Amino acid sequence: MRAIVQRVSEARVEVDRQVVGSIGRGFLVLLGVGQGDSEEDLQYMVDKILNLRVFEDDEGKMNLSLLDVEGEMLVVSQFTLYGDCRKGRRPSFSRAAGPELAEPMYNRFVSEVARRGVRVEKGVFGAMMSVFLCNDGPVTLMIDSERSF
C-alpha cells in the first residue's frame, strides 16, 4: 500500500459538486492499493499513519500524533500512486491492484481507522473526485508498506 499523507487544517472531497466527505484538523490520506497487498500491509499503514508524530506540541515541536490531537482523517482512493513513469510518457499502472482487491482494502482501511477512535470520512471509490485542502505547514509525507521503497 502507498499513501500520501498531508497534515491539513481542513479538507473535503466532492463528487459531481456534492460534498461526500469533509474534515477539520487532521490528515488527508491519498491511499493506493498494490497487487499483493495483504492484511499485514493494511495494519502497518493504519498504525504508521495514526501514530506519525507530525503535530506540534506546546513547544512548537512536531511531537504529537493524530491520536494525541484527536484529529480527523479524510481517505481518498488513489490508484495513480502506483503509476510507473520511468518509460515513455504514459504512466503504467500494472502494479496497482484491480478494483476487486483495492476497494475492499480501501474500505477496510477506513473501518480500521474508525475502529481506533478516529472520526474518518472518505471519498467514493472509483469516482471522479475533486479534493480541496488547506495543507497545514505544509506537511506532506509519502508512506509505502513495501519495505524496499
Residues with catalytic roles: 78-80
Q: How far is CA 58 from CA 7, 61, 84, 133, in A?
A: 17, 8, 41, 25
What is the rounded distance in angstroms from the CA atom of residue 46 to the CA atom of residue 93? 24
Here the cell at position 140 is: 506532506
Question: What gap in Å lies between CA 74 and CA 10, rounded to an integer?
Answer: 9
Residues in the chain: 149
Cis omega (within 30 of 0) on the bond before 138? yes
